[in-house]
Amino acid sequence: MAHDHDHEHGHDHSHQPHPFQPDLEETPLTHYQVMTQAVGDLLVEKGVFSAEELRAMVEAIDAKSQAAGARMVAHAWADPAFKARMLEDVNKAAEELDIDAGGIPIRAVENTEGVHNVIVCTLCSCYPRLLIGLPPDWYKSRSYRSRTVREPRQVLAEFGTTLPDDVEVRVHDSTADLRYMVLPARPAGTEGWDEEALAELVTRDCMIGVTLPKSPNA
């Protein structure tokens, strides 16, 4: 909620009006926004978690982006031994770079000259969020979830990614227990680049597999 009244806890909750932000208070709440506020408040009052923990978690979620994943990809491009370890076990390889990939196993699938990978979660929205941030809306949409497993080339084309016919497209359907990230192929023309510069080419969408990394000439 934009008006965060977690700071009020610790005293009687029966209820002075909250200090509202004038621009927000003119907008009606939805039923589920009210539920969200109420459930969070009740859990704080019951001591399930503290208001500080809740606030810190929101901040941590906000801070996640594709940066951690991009750093891993760039390191894998620069260091073949690391790449091999990453393909073996993403979560463990992440630790080498002080990246927390979480407790759910993530598998990296490597794009090569002959193979292009793309990830989807047909059942819901499983996604390597600790490495590449919160999923975009379209990843959770009915159209992406339905069509990617049946007509991946058409879906990729909608993202502007047209692959030659002789490139095999592999679609990976994530689950609550196993997630995927795409390890894109290193773009030609980046010989001698340092990892920081390489990481700049690695977008969220190319780690989902709907696009290729940015062009080094762009």
Partner 1 sequence: MSKQRNDETVLRRHHDMGGLPAGPVEQGEHDYAPWEKRVDAILRLLGDPKRRIITTDELRRGIEELGPGAYDEMSYYERWIASITNNLLEKGVITVDELGRRMAEISAAWPAGVEERKP
Rounded to the nearest whole angstrom, what is the least distance from the CB of residue 25 to partner 1 in the complex? 4
CB 107 within 8 A of CB 114: no
Question: Smallest distance, Å, CB 107 to partner 1?
Answer: 17
Residue of 7, 9, 35, 92 interacting with partner 1 (CB under 8 A): 35
Among 10, 12, 32, 80, binds partner 1 (CB under 8 A): 32
157's torsion region: left (phi>0), alpha (psi -120 to 50) or beta? Answer: alpha
CB of 171 to partner 1, least distance (A): 9
Query: Which positions from 57 through 116 interact with partner 1, judged by CB under 8 A?
Result: 57-58, 61-62, 104
Candidate ranges 54-62, 70-78, 80-88, 187-195; the one touching partner 1 (CB under 8 A)? 54-62
Q: Tell me the window of 53-61, 78-86, 91-99, 184-192 that interacts with partner 1 (CB under 8 A).
A: 53-61
From CA 79, how far away is CA 10, in angstroms rounded?
Answer: 52
DSSP letter for 84, please: H
Taking CB under 8 A as the rule, does residue 155 contact partner 1? Answer: yes
Binding flag, residue 11, partner 1 (CB under 8 A): no
Of positions 100, 150, 178, 197, contacts partner 1 by CB under 8 A? 150
Q: How far is it, in rounded angstroms, from Cα 69 to Cα 213?
A: 13
Q: How far is Cα 170 from Cα 156, in angstroms, rounded to an integer?
A: 12
- Using rule CB under 8 A, residue 21 touches partner 1: no
**C-alpha to C-alpha distance for 12 and 22, rounded to whole angstroms:** 25
- Helix (H), strand (E) at residue 43: helix 31-45
DSSP 94: H
| C-alpha separations of 152 from 116, 125, 139, 161 in Å | 11, 17, 13, 11
Q: Say whether residue 17 binds partner 1 (CB under 8 A).
A: yes
Could you give the CA distance from residue 151 to residue 34 in angstroms, rounded to a whole number? 40
The catalytic residues are 121, 124-126
Q: Which of 39, 84, 97, 197 binds partner 1 (CB under 8 A)?
A: 39
Instruction: Name every residue whose Cβ is closer than 8 Å to that of residue 20 and which is 6 or more positions away in sequence.
Output: 3
Q: Considering the rule CB under 8 A, would residue 217 count as an interface residue with partner 1?
A: no
- List contacts with partner 1 (CB under 8 A): 1-2, 4, 14-15, 17-18, 20, 25-43, 46, 48-49, 53-54, 57-58, 61-62, 104, 120, 122-125, 134, 136-138, 140-147, 149-150, 155, 158-159, 173, 176
